[in-house]
Amino acid sequence: MNSSPKIRVLIVDDSALVRRMARETLSADPEIEVAGVAVDPYEARDKIVALAPDVITLDLEMPRMDGLTFLRLLMDRRPIPVVVLSSLTARGSEFALEALRLGAVEVLGKPSGTYSFGDIGPQLVAKVKAAARARPRSSTAAARSPDPLRAAPPSLLADSAVRGRRADPRALILLGSSTGGVEALHEVIAGLPGGLPGIAIVQHIPAIFSRNLAERLNKLGPVRVREAVDGDIMQPGTALIAPGNFHLFLHWTGAHYSVRVTNGPAIWHQRPAVDLLFKSVADSGGAPHCVAGILTGMGRDGAEGLLRLREHGATTFAQDEATSVVYGMPRAAWENGAAQHVLPIERVAPFLAEPIAAVPLAGPAAAPFSS
């Protein structure tokens, strides 16, 4: 019998129907207890103090105070893991991604039909459990030790590392992430110079949100970012993100990597799956020319694929525990020997731009980098 305390959840939503359905869905799981419900942020504020929930589910469009304003105040004053329930609209998608930037742990599209809530029930339960394991980030950034990679002269990052790899058409950068990954990708993409090899990304995210995520990341720096389309060709200086609810595969044609986007079966309950992207590159012979890493996320997706890449000559890494919102996927990649390096999130972009990431390393897994 499981003696662990239940995950206490506060549901914040102005819709009585959504509150009822969310309560029924979550209460049916033996590991979750619905501690209470609130119809707006003001009531939520009082119930957070009275009930001390472990996780909050939060609607973003509510009366008296919108969810984004409430989330900003919450993360500033009393960080609690938040799962956002957002409407499946372009506006809702933009709000949801802003919520992730502000510190929400997970986001889930809210169904519009009265009888369709059951379709997202298992996802809601899984995301609440993931959120309960997360470490929400406070608004004040922790002081960081000097970083020799980040301190490298700009000419080194932009010239010697980039020029030496741009000529190789088989060179690739592969990234996989899940819970907490939107903010992690934001930091990585913003820190990359232009001219790097093509980048392929799998982020576990609902279908309606992946295009907006690509558009947001595209505004951060010289790397061009967009959602992948079936039949695309990988190009230097461009990052392709797997569309939500579709797997992403890369295949070497003899001259370039061709992109396949497919809606096959979920792997590790995920579509897109990191493992499938990684294994497709390994099976295409691209591993010796590849740098691949797993960022924050719950579960084990990506660990098997990263191990296959390493065994075939890739340079591999995983995000460290201290900077991961959820240290599940990175832990799995370290424990199975797939990750050669363990990196805090602030060192990922410099690592990808350095010559060390261009040359596969041999031998047993390296010790984690010190911060």
How do residues 204-238 score in pLDDT, each as one tens digit? 988 888 999 999 999 999 999 999 999 999 999 99
Contact 228, 259 (CB under 8 A): yes
pLDDT at 9 over 80: yes
Is the previous residue joined to 154 through a cis bond, with omega within 30 degrees of 0? no
What does the pLDDT read at residue 250?
A: 97
Residue with tokens 């030496």: 164
Domains within the chain, CATH numbers bracketed: 8-132 (3.40.50.2300), 154-358 (3.40.50.180)
Q: Which two tokens stand for residue 159?
A: 């010239």
What does the pLDDT read at residue 284?
A: 94
What mean pLDDT do residues 263-284 have?
A: 94
Contact 353, 162 (CB under 8 A): yes
What does the pLDDT read at residue 167?
A: 56
8, β-bridge pairs: 33
What does the pLDDT read at residue 305?
A: 98
Tell me the C-alpha distance between 24 and 267, whole Å. 27
Contact 318, 198 (CB under 8 A): no
Residue 254 CB neighbours (<10 A): 5
Q: Which spans in the chain are helix H? A: 16-27, 41-51, 67-77, 90-102, 121-132, 154-155, 161-166, 181-190, 207-218, 274-283, 303-311, 329-335, 348-353
59 is catalytic: no
Per-residue pLDDT band for 164 (boundaries 50, 70, 90) equals very low
Tell me the C-alpha distance between 269 and 190, whole Å. 30
What does the pLDDT read at residue 90?
A: 63
Low-confidence winner among 52-61, 109-118, 138-147, 200-209 (lowest mean pLDDT): 138-147
How do residues 167-188 score in pLDDT, each as one tens digit? 578 999 999 999 999 999 999 9
What does the pLDDT read at residue 117?
A: 66
What mean pLDDT do residues 272-300 have?
A: 96
Tell me the C-alpha distance between 315 and 191, whole Å. 19
How many alpha carbons lie under 13 Å from residue 201 in its C-beta half-sphere? Answer: 31
Q: Which residue of the set 87, 93, 178, 280 is catalytic?
A: 178
The DSSP bridge pattern shows strands 341-343 and 32-38 to be unpaired
Q: In 3-state terms, the chain is what percent helix, strand and coil (to 5)? A: 40, 20, 40
What mean pLDDT do residues 92-106 have?
A: 87
204 is catalytic: yes
What does the pLDDT read at residue 138?
A: 58
What does the pLDDT read at residue 365?
A: 39
Contact 46, 70 (CB under 8 A): no
How do residues 11-30 score in pLDDT, each as one tens digit? 999 999 889 999 999 999 99
pLDDT at 154 over 80: no
Tell me the C-alpha distance between 100 and 84, whole Å. 8
301 is catalytic: yes
Residue with tokens 């389309």: 229
Percent of the chain beyond pLDDT 90? 65
Task: Report residue 192: phi and psi, to 5°.
Answer: -90, 140
Tell me the C-alpha distance between 358 and 173, whole Å. 10
Task: Give Cα 48 distance to the centre of its chain.
Answer: 27
pLDDT at 143 over 80: no
How do residues 306-350 score in pLDDT, each as one tens digit? 999 999 999 999 999 999 999 999 999 999 999 999 999 999 999
Q: Which residue of the set 186, 204, 289, 341 is catalytic?
A: 204
Contact 92, 86 (CB under 8 A): yes
User: Across 180-268, where does the E strand assignment appear?
Assistant: 198-203, 224-227, 238-241, 247-252, 257-262
Question: Angle of helix 90-102 relative to helix 67-77, nearest 10 degrees?
Answer: 10
Q: Which residue of the set 13, 29, 59, 301 is catalytic?
A: 301
Q: Which has the higher per-residue pLDDT, 89 or 158? A: 89
* Residue 247 one-letter amino acid: H
How do residues 34-44 score in pLDDT, each as one tens digit? 999 999 999 99
The chain-wide mean pLDDT, for the chain, equals 85
Low-confidence winner among 97-106, 130-139, 241-250, 280-289 (lowest mean pLDDT): 130-139
pLDDT at 371 over 60: no
Look at the alpha carbons of 199, 275, 271, 175 in this order and tell me if their dihedral is positive or negative. negative
Q: How far is CA 65 from CA 88, 109, 150, in A?
A: 20, 21, 40
Per-residue pLDDT band for 191 (boundaries 50, 70, 90) equals very high
